[in-house]
Amino acid sequence: MSLNVIELRKDFPILQRETSNGVRLVYLDSTATSQKPLPVIEAMNAYYRRSNANIHRGVHTLAEEATALYEAAREKIARFINAPSARQVIYTRNTTEAINLVAYAWARANLKTGDLVILTEMEHHSNLVPWQMLQAERGIELDFIPVTETGLLDLDAYQALLARTPKLVAFTHMSNVLGTINPAAEIIRLAHAAGAVTLVDAAQSVPHLKVDVQALDADFLAFSAHKMCGPTGIGALYGKAELLEAMPPFLGGGDMIKEVKLRSFRANSLPHKFEAGTPAIAEAVGFGAAVEYLTSIGMDAIAAHEHEITAYALERLEEIPGVRVFGPDAAHKGGVAAFTLDGIHPHDVAQILDKDGIAVRAGHHCAQPLHEKFGIPATSRASFYLYNTKEEVDLLVNGIYKVKRLFG
């Protein structure tokens, strides 16, 4: 089923605006954060207007309504990723906090000096720095699945690493720079055969693809609401129940306890054991609304639309003399096109495009080691979502030609 993008765009108020230069906004930065549709904005507004109260503590009407909305959103999120139970969905601030939760609560209880953690060379800093911190503290070993020149993971090298019996394999499902969609099910299957636990950074995949945690057999999977039409400040960690049950709490305080004495405490049951203090209630409501919105459109339809846009964008970009696009072909990537333009810094490219209302990202995209591997300090990155059109790709290409003319 193809998307009626012209109608769909009407759901996103921000896409109707003009920039300060009086030109129509062309938003090509959804990999950094997506725009928000009216159902999400209205759901959060309705919560604040009608049901604002703290959760799990009160017996008055507002508290019960707020609790019901908060937990109903968790149920929607669990269904969206096909989690066996909503108890296995932990609210976090974002993907970064979800990965850190695993690093602190699972890894510090299970990893010791000399234990191997396998990552990849294409990781976002969020799935790199927490393990470097643990390496400095605990003396664990880190090794990396190499990225090939075409932007794919070297799975032969991965199998060689698995012969060293790692305790954890943590990897991105989709690269935020290369757009590479990694074969998560195969990576997980091989890791389990070697006796390792797996953690999937799904920040870039859950918004764009149908992700089924049971089909993947993922042990942990982390993602953020703000990249999937939801609000900032909230994300989720999925974990297998037996792992979550065995893990100590991440933060201490209210709501994560069953009983507290002056010298001891008993932790709450899942998922509340990992949700200390007053949470992002309105954001959870918005998260649930975002999941409903994406479900109503259909993840297969979204993925097909993005594939069509991305294939068209790669074709158009490769026409431009001096443009180098990074990552695999459209068959192996999501809606990301990171590129360089000969002799022109990516920040200059982004700033000039912005004059024409075209919003792209420029920099190392929190993936400095990956950029170093390709021998570049930064890239410009256009990224696409369900609301983007081929006409916007044409405007991007016209803008890049303008950059070339300005720089002679």
Q: Is 343 exposed, middle or buried (0-12, 13-18, 19+ CB in 10 A)?
A: exposed
Task: Give catalytic status of residue 366 as yes or no.
Answer: yes
From first CA to last CA, the distance across the chain in angstroms is: 44
Q: Which of 250, 229, 227, 231 is closest to 239 using CA atoms?
A: 250
Helix axes 155-162, 184-193, angle to 10 degrees: 20
- Phi/psi of residue 355, each to 5°? -60, -25
Q: Where are the alpha helices (DSSP H) in 201-358?
A: 213-216, 241-246, 281-297, 299-317, 346-355
Catalytic residue chosen out of the listed positions 366, 369, 373, 376: 366
For 317-374, give the DSSP string: HTTSTTEEEES--GGGB-SEEEEEETTB-HHHHHHHHHHTTEE-EEE-TT-HHHHHHT
Angle at alpha carbon of residue 199, lines to 272 and 373, rounded to 5°: 135
Sequence-separated (6 or more) residues with CB below 8 Å from residue 331:
none
CB 311: neighbour CB atoms within 10 A? 14
Give the C-alpha separation, 27 to 335, whole Å. 13
* Separation of alpha carbons 26 and 32, rounded Å: 15
Q: At what angle do helices 390-406 and 299-317 cross, to 10 degrees?
A: 30
* Residue 12: burial class (beta carbons within 10 Å; 0-12, 13-18, 19+): buried
Closest residue by Cα to residue 125 from 148, 95, 105, 80:
95
Query: Shortest CA distance to 3 belongs to which of 408, 404, 389, 393?
Result: 389
Catalytic residues: 366
